[in-house]
Structure formats: structure tokens, C-alpha cells
Amino acid sequence: MSYLFTSESVSEGHPDKIADQISDALLDNFLAFDPESKVACETLVTTGQVVLAGEVKSHTYVDLQQIARETINSIGYTQGAYRFSGDSCGVISLIHEQSPEILQGVDRESKEEQGAGDQGMMFGYATRESDNYMPVALDIAHRILQELAMLRRESKEMTYLRPDAKAQVTLEYSDENVPQRIDTIVVSTQHDPFDESDEVMLQQIEADIRGILIPRVVAGLPERIQKLFDSEITYHINPTGKFVIGGPHGDTGLTGRKIIVDTYGGKGAHGGGAFSGKDPSKVDRSAAYAARHAAKNLVAAGVADEILVQVSYAIGVAEPTSVNVNTYGTSRVPMTDGAIGEKVIELFDMRPAAIERRLKLRNPMYLETAAYGHMGREPRVVEKVFESPYNGRVEKKVELFTWEKLDRVAEVKKAFNL
């Protein structure tokens, strides 16, 4: 019997995602001027206010308030009517220096022996069901909101759109775990007030979502994913009615409150640690990226159709306390999952310093991760410019989403005789 599975995403204008983007913008600026910065920045956003908190150890100084304001404006919160604007909100900083007791467990004379920044377990997941080795429901949910943001910024067709939005996709699977069709799509988007009645307003928004947004999303998908869209999809568009009050005025936002959106949409597993605002000595972030890198290359090499990689650490200890692999019975090699895990340990050095080096994580590459998922994105190189009244101007060529590169496939195939 077939079954349903659902994933959701949220837009860059969602309150929690605003907080994530501010935290990662601060991190990028610290790393741009001091790559060895230790950063753990948390952000809270609410009506007219931003609160920054956390711990930083760095040889540089950045204008926290200005970075927060620029980030908010870039998302689209630029109008007083939103009751939250980068130009007028208050910004309170409660950031202080990192605890020396934590630092002594991380820093070592030899960089290679750098200890993990905390204990915990992290997961990386990959599946063959999409071209980017991500769960299809989450991938489509992300694409819906990315396209909606593009319409908000560039289109003259849906001029009423405001920054806050959410999407949810329910996918029907066969007994063999193969996607069959999309069962339900939910889209809730913030909007300007309409002069017409609520009924006319909702009819207009639904017509535009179904007639403008969804066709644009479908057109950008591979043909095999396009086939999942049929005439029987159930749509729920702004199901509560009006959505004028949104963003931080409608709901307080916090860094790290959308960790399932950030990863695999409920597929695989999650260790519980958030990513945004954390430098790569925090294995919550770096080891999750490394585990995704390993899982994706293993699936792409043909080791299995679906793989979950777990890695765990003790604070201050370089070597992982465990590495575990689960292929969900989809292995294509004559080996147990335990034996595959042993090969993963040989192929992928999971010590924190090795992860930082391999994935180039000491670069200011994080703001781009803070909305629409950290996984499944396209690796690319960009030019970034950072300016500071205290440190001058820095131009950097930065490689983004390095953990998404399929750069170990040949090595994996050789190791598994594929």
C-alpha cells in the first residue's frame, strides 16, 4: 500500500530565518577579517527589535549593528508598514567573549589535533530520488519559496507579496519507496492589504500561486520530477485567510529553530544541533556538512540508493567517538552496513581540523546557507566584499557549499570495487 510523506520549508523572510541570516552574516564578517575567529552568535527578532547574544573570540572587531541592519534590508524588510525594518529597528548586542574553559578543549598546538567544540551526534543523508540527492518533497518546498521570493523582487505580476512565507509538500510513495505523485501543496504567503473583500483577495492569491508560481517551479525541475505534478493535487493557499501581519511583528524569530528545514525535511535523522552563527570548530555544523559530503559521494558512487551517516564526538577530543552507516537495505555492495562504516572511516577523515581543511570551512561562506537549506545546493565560487570602519575592505573569492561536491566518487568506487 502506498504512503504519504511531508516536508516543509520557510522563506528568507520568515522570522526564524531572519535570525539565522543575521547570525551567519555576523559569522561571515568575523571570518573575513580573522579566519580563526571562534563564533557562536544567536539572534532574536521581534516587533521593531533585534537582540544579539552569544560568544566570540576574535582578533577583529565588526559593526554588529550595521551588519544586522544590512541583512534585514537585503531580505526585504524596508517598510515601516511591516513594523520591522532594517533602517528603524533597535539592535541590542549582548555578545561576550568565549569561555576559556571551552577554548582550552578546542585549541591545540598542532592544528590537526584540534578538539571538537562540543559533544553530540551529527547526521548526513543522501538519496537517489532526486538529481541533487535530496528528498523530493523538501526540494520542491524549497524551490516553491525561492521562486516566490524571485517573484516578489522581480515580477510585476504579484506586486502584493511581502517577505514572510511557508510551503509544505506531501508526496505519495509506492511500497518500493519510489515517489509517485504530489498529493498536497500548502503555500502561505504574507501580502499587502487588498482594497477588495477577503474573498476576492484570497481568490486572487490562489489563482496567482497556481497559475504563475507553480508553473515557474515546474519548469525548473527535471522531467522525472515534473511528472509528479498532476491535476489531482490538493492545494491549500493561505488557508487561514488574511496574512498581512507577518515577519517578526507577527511571530518572534530565533536562530536555530528550523533545523529540519535546514537539513532533510524529516528524512534521515538530525542530531539536534543548529548550524547558523557557529564557526566550523563547532561540530554541530562542520561534522553535519562532512557527513552529508560522505553520504552524497557514497550514493553517487553506487554504494547504496539511500544512506544515513552518523558521526559523534566528545568535547575537546579530535577523533570521533563513533561513525555509523545505515543503508536502509538499499546497499549495492556485498558488505554489511558495519563494514561500509569501516570504509567510510578510512575514506573520510572526520577530525574537526581535517573537516575544516577539506571543505574549506574557514572562509566567509555561511550567509548563503541560512535560507532554503544547507544541503542539496549547487557548489559555486563567488566574489564577496566585506567593508568595516575598523578593518577596511576585504575582497575574497569564496567557494560555497563545498560539502555538496561529488569530488570523492572515483575514490569511493575504487575502495568498494565498483
pLDDT digits (tens, 9 = 90+) for 44-57: 999 999 999 999 99
360 is in an annotated binding site: no
The confidence score (pLDDT) of residue 98 equals 65
Q: What is the 3-state secondary structure (H, E, C) of 73-88?
A: HHHCCCCHHHCCCCCC
**Model-level pTM?**
0.95
274 is in an annotated binding site: yes
38 is in an annotated binding site: no
166 is in an annotated binding site: yes
The architecture in CATH of the region 15-107 reads 2-Layer Sandwich (3.30)
CB 323 within 8 A of CB 310: yes
CB 367 within 8 A of CB 28: yes
C-alpha cell at 106: 578546542
Give Cα separations from 90 to 11, 50, 252, 333 (angstroms). Answer: 23, 6, 14, 57
55 is in an annotated binding site: yes
Q: Which residues does 166 contact at the CB level (< 8 Å), separation at least 6?
A: 8, 9, 10, 11, 14, 145, 186, 187, 188
The DSSP secondary structure of 261-299, one letter per residue, reads HHTTTTSS---S---TTB-TTSHHHHHHHHHHHHHHHHH
98 is in an annotated binding site: yes
The topology (CATH level 3) of 120-128+268-415 is: GMP Synthetase; Chain A, domain 3 (3.30.300)
Q: How far apart are CA 205 and CA 189, in angstroms?
A: 9
141 is in an annotated binding site: no
Distance of CA 364 to the CA centre of its chain: 15
CB atoms within 10 A of CB 27: 29
20 is in an annotated binding site: no
The architecture in CATH of the region 3-9+136-246 reads 2-Layer Sandwich (3.30)
Name the segment(s) of the chain with CATH classification 3.30.300.10.
3-9+136-246, 15-107, 120-128+268-415
Q: How far apart are CA 276 and CA 52, in angstroms?
A: 13
Q: How far apart are CA 61 and CA 42, in angstroms?
A: 17
Burial of 175: CB neighbours in 10 Å, binned 0-12, 13-18, 19+ = exposed
pLDDT-flagged residues of the chain (< 70): 98-113
66 is in an annotated binding site: no
The confidence score (pLDDT) of residue 388 equals 85
The confidence score (pLDDT) of residue 101 equals 47
C-alpha cell at 415: 575502495
CB atoms within 10 A of CB 383: 8
165 is in an annotated binding site: yes
232 is in an annotated binding site: no
305 is in an annotated binding site: no
Q: Which residues does 271 contact at the CB level (< 8 Å), separation at least 6?
A: 120, 121, 122, 123, 284, 288, 310
206 is in an annotated binding site: no
131 is in an annotated binding site: no
